[in-house]
Structure 1
Amino acid sequence: MKFTNRFAPSPTGPLHLGHAYSALLAHDLAQAAGGSFLLRIEDIDQSRARPEWEAQIYQDLDWLGIGWARPVMRQSDRMESYRAALDDLWARGLLYACTCNRRDIAAATSAPQEGAAPIIGPDGIIYPGTCRAAGHPRETGALRLDMAKALETLSSTPLTFLENGQGPNGETGQQTISPDQLITTVGDVVLARRDMGTSYHLSVVLDDAAQKVTLVPRGADLFEATQIHVVLQALLGLPKPCYHHHRLIRDEAGKRLAKRDDARAIALYRESGTTPQEIRDMVGL
């Protein structure tokens, strides 16, 4: 199978040094393997996505010396694919509608004993299952995966993935996912939000399969989310890529860079006369 990886930014703000590191690393890996580097625009959040940010993504990557295969996949063009997958999972009884908001979840998980804190998973506080048996109509809320039911259908399927980068605690090589931990430390994740019609977890899995991605390079902060993606790949009969989680670029205080950290935006470096090679030096490439 041909080596294919990708860089998948969201057009919700300027790319910063962390994005530069991720994109350059993925591009370098593809070139070293004689494979393909793809660009995907993850614009499912239409309330925040802006055409001008998407245009700047192309400008920044081009300036960095990164080339990519055309056409560029845009998630906003793939809503029917996401809906079809949700229809399938709903018909199999693996989804339920949830009408809880964040305040409801926080209240339901507040421990009565002093000092106890709710468990935090890849999507925040582990959902307590308030709506699991409520029988809400599909259109009334977000759609959550019933993790316990999903794992029942996968009882004979090994849940593993190959990590050829490094997780936050040094994880590398073949990783085995514990079904018990999926229930206790991940829980019933949201696969479709009412205002988006999908979620990051669902769209990224379907998009990687559609683009025939063989290696997924991304930050180590997404390592714990990979187990969700492995479950979805198994449920939907999708191929399973390898993963390469990489270190995060941080500021002087050790904080991970965010899009609101405009001072480290690639465009500002570009406009100030910084060279692409100097950007590589800054991020350790």
Structure 2
Amino acid sequence: MSYIGRFAPSPSGLLHFGSLVAALGSYFQAKAMQGKWLVRIEDLDPPREMPGAASAILATLEQYGLYWDGEVAYQSQRHHLYQSQIDEWLKSGQAYYCQCSRKQIKASGGYYLGACRALGLTNAQNCSVRLRMDNPVESFEDLKRGKIEIPHALAHEDFIIKRRDGLFAYNLAVVIDDIDQGITEIVRGADLIEPTGRQISLYKTLNQTPVRYLHLPLAVDSSGNKFSKQNHATAIDNHNPKPAIMKAMIFLGFDLPKDFSDCTIEQMVAWGCKHWCLSQLPDEINIIP
């Protein structure tokens, strides 16, 4: 099977250093495997989106020499696919409506214990939709970290696939999209390790072969906080990409040549594709871009 990777940012803000690490890592892995690198805008949550962020993200990728294959996909244009699958599961009993609030779940120990599973609720108003967990995943293999264990309660929890506010859940959308786009391997930050088990369980529920996973070291500041839009991470500079590219490549374990700063952006990216190998990836480290 030909390699197909992807970078899937959310337009809740501009790309920051952590985003760049994920973009470069996924790009280098795809191109080192002579594969395709797709870009998907994960615009599932309109209230959290920043106006103009989607187009700004694409412009930044181009400024940093990261050119995607094919057309950009937008989750906001794929709602019919998610709803169709949910309808099918509701009809078969694989999914069900749930009226439990976060407060109720927190009071019961923090995990949903199946209170609505046998109620047969038919009114979707003020309800989420949960997937019956018939394919729990208690561990998976990561290409860098080896075997990752998942807590039993988390692995066996019936999780939400459509929120009470009518928005589709990330886990469902990302798996349906990855299957539809033929993704063979996912390279992303270590902050997304936790939902991986649920995503693999969705592959199994859909009778699909799960993809491979590689979780990159997480970029954190001196206080141990990850660089993220939620933590108001500073956007990377579109007008002077070289310093950020070099810092991100060093973070990813590259030993850069002394004259590397004299290269063009395109030469830097091409060099990274040629010299990329998983064994160079470091353990989690602190870094201040």
TM over 0.5: yes
Aligned length: 252
Instruction: Name the CA shift for 1:273/1:197 in 2 (closer, same or farther; >3 Å).
Output: closer
% identical equivalent positions:
32
Q: Spell out, residue by residue over 1:235-278, the C-alpha distance to the aligned partner (whole angstroms, 9 max, x if none).
A: 11223211111110001112111204445311xx3356764543
RMSD: 2.5
For residue 209 of structure 1, report the CA deviation from its aligned partner: 0.5
| 1:130-149 alignment runs, 5 A limit | 130-140=115-125, 141-147=127-133
The answer to which of 32-41 and 59-68 deviates more is 59-68
Q: 1:115-134 residue pairs with structure 2 within 5 A?
A: 118=109, 125-134=110-119
| Alignment correspondent of 2:246 | 278
Structure 1 37/188 Cα, relative in aligned 2: closer, same or farther at 3 Å? same
- Paired residue secondary structure (2:222): coil
Q: Does 1:16 align with 2:48?
A: no
For structure 2, the 5+ residue unaligned runs are 255-289
Query: Cα distance 1:70–1:19, how it changes in 2: closer, same or farther (>3 A)?
Result: same
Distance 1:70 1:184 in 2: 36
Contact 1:97 1:144 in 2 (8 A): yes
Task: Give the distance between the partners of 1:24 and 1:138, measured in 2 at CA.
Answer: 45
SS in structure 2 of the partner of residue 232 of structure 1: helix
Residue 22 of structure 1: CA displacement?
Answer: 0.4
Task: Report the alpha carbon displacement of residue 52 of structure 1 after superposing the two structures with TM.
Answer: 0.6
Of 190, 211, 229 in structure 2, the residue corresponding to residue 259 of structure 1 is 229
Q: Is the 8 A contact 1:14 1:262 kept in 2?
A: no
Structure 1 spans left out of the alignment, 5+ residues: 110-117, 119-124, 167-171
Distance 1:265 1:24 in 2: 16
Is 2:161–2:169's contact at 8 Å kept on the other side of the alignment? yes
Aligned equivalents of 1:233, 1:83: Cα separation in 2: 17
Aligned to 2:197: 227
Which residue does the alignment assign to 2:144? 165
TM-score normalised over the length of structure 2? 0.78
Listed as ranges, the matches of 1:1-285 within 5 Å are: 1-107=1-107, 109=108, 118=109, 125-140=110-125, 141-147=127-133, 150-151=134-135, 161-166=140-145, 172=146, 182-183=152-153, 185-266=155-236, 269-271=237-239, 275-281=243-249, 283-284=251-252, 285=254
